[in-house]
Amino acid sequence: MCGIAGYVGFEREGLLERMTASIVHRGPDDAGHFHDGDAALGHRRLSIVDLAGGHQPMESPCGRFVIAFNGEIYNHLDLRRDLGAAPARSDSPAAVSR
């Protein structure tokens, strides 16, 4: 099971990194952080699908949206095909949401 952390408000130096460090037990395989002004989103990953890729938070191709996802989308390959999704940088189920 992965872990997600974040905040909205005044930027606090190192806060997101401390938050994700406190949930390392939920996702020991990878950590990712996204900062944009007064908003921040962090993710700890337990790799199940796409062990090498799937780094999160993921940014949409246009750069407008960011997602941190925890869960499984079992038909993610079918969804990509049916939606005509552009090739993603990862085979992770989270990438289909981009």
Active site (catalytic) residues: 2
For residue 17, the one-letter residue type is: E
Q: Are 68 and 27 in contact (CB under 8 A)?
A: no
Tokens representing residue 6 in the block = 């974040």
Report which of 29, 31, 32, 67 is spatially closest to residue 48, judged by C-alpha positions.
29
What's the DSSP call for residue 93? G
Task: Quote the CA–CA distance of 5 and 14 in Å, as a whole number.
Answer: 13
